[in-house]
């Protein structure tokens, strides 16, 4: 199978199933993340020219990001929509904004709450705060979702987590 056919089939048949409502069911345990990545790991070996490469090298060659990276990116897009009032405020998540002087991060900086139980710290409203707050104004201060996606992709271009699901985003204290 050639690269182009594989990517077309894979993105149309697999991505929708694994990314549906991922901000709700987002896995946080390493074993769950590993199991989901296996769904991508196995099929990439079907391409004969990539069969003997490592998983990271196969993803790099195919320009296919890890599911972990795609979940983080999707989460940031959702936070952008919430902070820029693109959802109905009556049904959207209420995020607490930082009201003090901001020396780092962006003007939509969120408050990071502490929790007594592990379960609560993995909720969407809790696990996105550190990553969102590390984004600079030049990324988050735009008028459209597509502009945000383009700037986010440019800002995260060299992140290890893009092709290595065991890595974290640098400088974010990512889970």
- Residues 108-134 have pLDDT tens digits of 888 777 766 766 667 777 778 888 888
* Count of C-beta atoms within a 10 Å radius of residue 116: 7
CA 130 to chain centre: 13
Q: Considering only residues 36 and 154, tell me which one the structure prediction assigns the higher pLDDT.
A: 154
Predicted confidence (pLDDT) at residue 15 exceeds the cutoff of 90: no
Predicted confidence (pLDDT) at residue 172 exceeds the cutoff of 60: no
Q: Considering only residues 150 and 94, tell me which one the structure prediction assigns the higher pLDDT.
A: 150
Mean local confidence (pLDDT), 95-118: 72
Which sign does the torsion angle of CA 55, 168, 68, 31 carry? positive
- Residues 25-65 have pLDDT tens digits of 677 778 888 888 888 888 888 888 888 999 999 999 998 88
Q: What confidence tier does 92 reach under pLDDT thresholds 50, 70, 90?
A: low
Q: Where are the alpha helices (DSSP H) in the chain?
A: 3-13, 15-19, 22-25, 30-44, 55-62, 67-83, 118-121, 124-127, 129-133, 137-140, 145-155
């Amino acid at each position: 199978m050639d690269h182009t056919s594989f990517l077309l089939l894979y993105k149309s048949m697999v991505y929708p199933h694994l990314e549906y409502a991922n901000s709700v069911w987002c896995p946080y345990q390493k074993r769950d993340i590993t199991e989901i990545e296996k769904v991508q790991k196995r099929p990439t070996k079907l391409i004969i020219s990539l069969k003997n490469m490592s998983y990271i090298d196969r993803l790099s060659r195919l320009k296919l990001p890890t599911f972990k990276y795609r979940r983080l990116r999707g989460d940031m897009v959702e936070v952008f929509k919430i902070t820029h009032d693109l959802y109905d405020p009556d049904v959207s998540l209420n995020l607490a904004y930082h009201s003090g002087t901001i020396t780092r991060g962006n003007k939509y900086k969120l408050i990071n709450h502490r929790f007594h139980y592990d379960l609560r710290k993995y909720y969407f409203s809790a696990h996105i705060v550190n990553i969102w707050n590390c984004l600079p104004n030049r990324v988050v201060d735009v008028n459209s979702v597509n502009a945000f996606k383009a700037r986010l992709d440019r800002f995260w271009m060299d992140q290890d987590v893009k092709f290595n699901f065991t890595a974290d985003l640098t400088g974010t204290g990512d889970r």
